[in-house]
Structure 1
Amino acid sequence: MTVRDKVIEIIAEQAVLDVSDISLDQSLADLGIDSLGLVESIFAIEEAFDIQVPFNANEPEKSDFDISSVQAIVSAVEGLVADQQS
């Protein structure tokens, strides 16, 4: 399973949707994921990939982790995974 597939699977689980219902250009708000769901998604992503996501739930606008769309999240996680492996 690719990083992209796993991230989409985690987001789909949080949104209580099928993976096929998730498109890369959607935002988490589009999918009905609130701030608590976002935090749970980030914890699940950290656990799945054994990475630390630079995200502060108290100040999301100051985080280096782009959550503007599913694609942005996938790209950010791919970068973190690549950094960890190097």
Structure 2
Amino acid sequence: MSDVESKIYDIIVEKTNIDRAKLTREASLSELEISSLDFVEIVFAVEEEFDIEVPYNANTQDQDFKALGDIVGAVEKLVEERG
């Protein structure tokens, strides 16, 4: 597990109180029952933690993030691009 993935999971646990053992790249946001409000809070916390801007628009319910692996992959790419 990468540092990015671990930090994202820490943020999710902090914001939702979901058991960390349930967090895998394959886990879908819907099966984890992450609400849209919780997801927005997670996005803000991830942006702050990594000093990036995640391309997510809560008004359009962007479907790019269906599973945790989608989020981890996007953040890893943004962190890499930032240098």
TM-score by length of 2: 0.87
| CA distance in 2: counterparts of 1:25 and 1:74, whole angstroms | 11
Percent identity over the alignment is 41
Opposite residue 79 of structure 2, the aligned amino acid is V
- Using the TM superposition, give the Cα deviation of residue 24 of structure 1 relative to its aligned residue in structure 2, in angstroms: 1.6
1:18-51 Cα shifts (integer Å, max 9, x gaps): 3222122111221121110110000000010010
Counterparts of 1:1-86 in structure 2, within 5 Å, are: 2-61=3-62, 66-85=64-83
The Cα RMSD (Å) is 1.6
TM-score by length of 1: 0.84
Q: Is the 8 A contact 1:15 1:31 kept in 2?
A: no
Higher mean C-alpha deviation, range 38-47 or range 3-12: 3-12
Where structure 1 has 5 or more consecutive residues not aligned to the other structure, the ranges are none
The number of residue pairs the alignment matches comes to: 82
Moved over 4 A (4+): none
